[in-house]
Amino acid sequence: MARTRKAEEMMDKHRKKIGRISLGAGILLVALLVTFFGVTVWNTNRLMDQVDTLTNHPFKVVIAIGDFNTQVAKMRAQVERLLIDNSQDIVRDAWDNLDENYRKAQELLDVIEARYLGPKENVDQLNQAYARLKQANEGLLEYGYIGARSREEISQYCNENVIHVYDEAQEASNTVFMEAQHRFFMIYDAAEAVRSLSMVMSGIIVLAVIGALVLYQQLLRRQNFEIMARNLQFELISNTISNVFMIYTPGEQGEDFVSENAERLLGFSAAELLEDQRKLRSQFSAQDLELLDNMLEGGEQKFGAATVRYRHPRSGQEMTLFIQSYEVRSAKGHCQYITVFSDETEMTRVQIALQDALDRAERASLAKSEFLSRMSHEIRTPLNGVIGMSIIALQNVGQEEKLIDCLRKINLSSKHLLVLINDVLDMSKIESGMIEIKNERFDFRVFLESLVTVIYGQARDREISFETVLSGEIPERLVGDSLRLNQILMNLLSNAIKFTPQNGSVTLRIQSICGEAEGLWLRFQVKDTGCGIAPENYEKIFMAFEQENASVAHLYGGTGLGLSISRRFAELMGGRIGVESQLGLGSTFTVEIPFGIEPERAQPKADFGGLRALVVDDDRETCEHAAFLLEKIGVEASWVDNGFEAVAQVGRAHDLGRDYDICLIDWRMPFIDGLETTRRIRRAVGDALSVVLITAYDPSEIREEAKRAGADGIIQKPLFESTLIETLEHVEQRSQAFDGNGLLQQNLEGKRVLVVEDNELNREIAIELLAMAHANVESVADGQEAVERFAASAVGYFDIVLMDIQMPVMDGYEATRRIRALAREDAARVPILAMTANAFSEDVQKSLNCGMNDHITKPIDVDQLFDKLNRALQRAEQ
């Protein structure tokens, strides 16, 4: 019993001991867990403090320093732009860009100053260096803005005042960066110590396996929840953005994951791609597939990117895709690829468009530079002619023949110089949108005769055959812009003559291509036998400041603006222009322009019924056109294309007693010309008919010889209905037919003109020109004198006033307003014409607005001067 009791006591003691041990173990375990928990919390807080310090101070300072250096680099790039171009526009642009850089740089300095843990003097040095940098930049910009500086001046200024300041700023930023980086590693080392302590404490926790397992399971449960939440977030994000995401495991069929927006971008649904990725691969080219496979099998490379072409399976549209691939490891340890597809089709298109625009801008800049070089040569050449011939004329005073030659050459050089200046001004007005197209009535016959007279002179000087051919019915009075039409045709014809060699030919062909009651389209074709144009240069020659190639500019000169101006004028008039050419054989420029038709006035016409006419010309179109016009006015007309047949036909008609009343014979024909044909007709039939020669050239050249050959007169091509009517009227009256020489003898006899001009030379020119027309001329030197002279004169004393605009004392606008305001009968109706170098359309309108009747542009065109004078006087007399 005693042993049993003792045993029970021992067992009880053992149980108690075990209980104590268990309790102690439990207490110890709890204590260890509590200690582990406390240490873990303490270490975690320390680690978070380190991370927080690392994130908010050295890390942000390092990033800010990098961004600050980027802004400084951008500032330096703006400064270096001035080494290439320091125009005021570039300086202002640099100023604007630097202001933005300064703002961003200051924000970064504020971040650095607030977060920097190193010595304060480092930040102070950086701020000071930045202040000096801004001051240096401002100094450079002001230096460049004052005026055009050479590249060497800007470079020297930068080397002396700017570059070393950038180096100082860079050195100061490097100091801050190195200190921030040092602090970064110090904090990182402290965090590493905390991590080591945590690992030691983790070894102690081995005794608390149960608690660790419970904790682990709790953490695992929480992690699974977070993973599920993140997966849901990823799917939501991937379905709402334009990029497509795929997760792919090599060696497995189909994709592991495809975002639901795949169909919108790639044309295949997510389900289709998950089932079989080969559908997607079929839309890439073999070359792009090889590139993608190499990117996905990049060995140790963890990231790859490529831009490829992709054909959309539904629309068939070709797209540009940017594909990025990231290599990751799955939970099972398998290698996986996350692939992102981005549509860059539009961005690529924009980049290509920007590059094309840049290329065009660079070509335009180069073309303008070449143009300025050509213009310098082109302007100096006629200017040298004017100056040189003036000197020669002064040295040959008294030698009339030499003086006349010098004056003729000065006149030609001056006109050439005026053409160059007008081309530049026209192009300037076109590019600024200041060109106005007028819609006025004009006499097409007079217009064409004037044009042909000028071009004939150019062709004769170069020994080139020139011909004008009309086809079909073309009205003599049109409605349109005759000035712009003249510029177009003058440019085309002058070019044709310039590029045509000696003994070549130039032809202007005009025909009506379609018409209606109120208007018609005319086609003008300028054909030459010149050097021709390569097909690839057809468009280039119509571009401003361009010529076909450098050799053309060298051999023939010119501004390269004529064809560009012609095209723009034709388009502004509602028409079009084109070219066909063969190298070495010549070119044909075609212009088609619409015109209005002025209603014909009801006037009694002469009766030419019963008259018979024979037209003789080697050009078939000219014969048909002349015969058409003759029959239109009632004349029985026939035609032949050579002199032999003309003589024979005239002889047969004479033998039959049915003589022709008139024979129209072209002067220039092969075999026997018009003069010889006329002689033979006179020998055959005597004076039984009238013979009138037709010429495309200056009639004065053949007038005497034509009279000796027996011709009754000479008329000029191109032939119009009114030309033939005038000729037939003279034939019926048996008087000398008109010489179509296009020269108008001006007569202002009895007219009193007041010339208001402050420039003595210009005043002398105007007085002499008016005196040649027998006008009575008085002159004054400014607007105030003009008002006083007019007010002091008798009513109706002055018939017309020519008024300069820019004058001292009082300008032409104010003088005109004051004359119009005078309380006398003739003040409101006396014609006042502006005579000024102000040539733009707004200048013309300003002249009309102040009360003037018309506008004459300097340098004075004699034909324009007298035409406007006569029209103003006629209106005043009505």
> Between 643 and 117, where is the model more confident?
643
> Between 613 and 285, where is the model more confident?
613
Collapsing DSSP states into helix, strand and coil, what is residue 469?
A: strand
Confidence class for position 754, pLDDT limits 50, 70, 90:
very high
Collapsing DSSP states into helix, strand and coil, what is residue 578?
A: strand
Residues near 301 by beta carbon (within 8 Å), at least 6 away in sequence:
327
- The reported pLDDT for the residue numbered 848 is 87
Distance CA 289, CA 295 (A): 10
User: Averaged over 334-342, what is the pLDDT?
Assistant: 75
User: Averaged over 20-37, what is the pLDDT?
Assistant: 58
Distance CA 212, CA 567 (A): 90
Per-residue pLDDT for 18 more than 60?
A: no
Per-residue pLDDT for 354 more than 70?
A: yes
Distance CA 255, CA 52 (A): 40
Per-residue pLDDT for 494 more than 80?
A: yes
- The reported pLDDT for the residue numbered 433 is 56
Confidence class for position 2, pLDDT limits 50, 70, 90:
very low
> Between 151 and 827, where is the model more confident?
827
User: Averaged over 155-168, what is the pLDDT?
Assistant: 80
Task: State the pairing for strand pair 244-248/612-616.
Answer: unpaired
Share of residues in the chain with pLDDT > 90 (%): 13
Q: What is the pTM of this model?
A: 0.45
- The reported pLDDT for the residue numbered 819 is 94
> Between 251 and 127, where is the model more confident?
127
Collapsing DSSP states into helix, strand and coil, what is residue 163?
A: helix
The closest of 96, 178, 173, 76 to 130, measured between CA atoms, is: 173
Backbone angles phi and psi of 635, in degrees to 5: -90, 135
Distances (CA, A) of 303 to 172, 244, 289: 36, 17, 17
Distance CA 95, CA 99 (A): 6
Give pLDDT tens digits for 591-604: 999 998 876 654 44
Q: What is the DSSP string of 54-106?
A: HIIIIIHHHHHHHHHHHHHHHHHHHHHHTTT---HHHHHHHHHHHHHHHHHHH
Give pLDDT tens digits for 85-134: 767 777 777 777 878 887 887 888 888 878 777 788 888 888 888 888 88
- The reported pLDDT for the residue numbered 28 is 55
Instruction: Locate 177 and state its tokens.
Output: 């960066």
Lowest mean pLDDT among 570-584, 785-799, 862-876: 862-876
User: Averaged over 405-415, what is the pLDDT?
Assistant: 71
Per-residue pLDDT for 255 more than 70?
A: no
Confidence class for position 488, pLDDT limits 50, 70, 90:
confident
Q: In the 8-state DSSP scheme, what is residue 533?
A: -
CB of 677 closer than 8 Å to CB of 665? yes
- The reported pLDDT for the residue numbered 797 is 93
Per-residue pLDDT for 212 more than 70?
A: no
Instruction: Locate 659 and state its tokens.
Output: 């003589």
Q: What is the DSSP string of 753-817?
A: EEEE-S-HHHHHHHHHHHHHTT-EEEEESSHHHHHHHHHHSPTT--SEEEE-SS-SSS-HHHHHH
- The reported pLDDT for the residue numbered 647 is 92
Give pLDDT tens digits for 163-204: 888 888 888 888 878 877 787 777 777 777 777 777 777 666
Instruction: Locate 95 and state its tokens.
Output: 């100023």
> Between 90 and 828, where is the model more confident?
828
Per-residue pLDDT for 739 more than 50?
A: no
User: Averaged over 662-676, what is the pLDDT?
Assistant: 90
The closest of 478, 469, 421, 419 to 444, measured between CA atoms, is: 478
Per-residue pLDDT for 557 more than 50?
A: no
Collapsing DSSP states into helix, strand and coil, what is residue 309?
A: strand
- The reported pLDDT for the residue numbered 134 is 81
- The reported pLDDT for the residue numbered 680 is 92
- The reported pLDDT for the residue numbered 600 is 61
| Domain annotation for the chain: domains and CATH numbers | 20-209 (1.20.1330), 241-343 (3.30.450.20), 350-429 (1.10.287.130), 436-597 (3.30.565.10), 612-732 (3.40.50.2300), 752-877 (3.40.50.2300)
- The reported pLDDT for the residue numbered 544 is 57
Helices 674-685 and 643-655, packing angle to 10 deg: 20
> Between 800 and 373, where is the model more confident?
800
- The reported pLDDT for the residue numbered 148 is 65
HSE value, Cβ hemisphere, 13 Å, CA-based, for 330: 12
The closest of 102, 99, 112, 109 to 71, measured between CA atoms, is: 102
Helices 812-820 and 783-792, packing angle to 10 deg: 20
Instruction: Locate 499 and state its tokens.
Output: 């590029």
The closest of 697, 617, 693 to 455, measured between CA atoms, is: 697
User: Averaged over 553-582, what is the pLDDT?
Assistant: 75
Q: Please provide the distance, in angstroms rounded to a whole number, between the alpha carbons at the two ends of the chain.
A: 166
> Between 23 and 282, where is the model more confident?
282
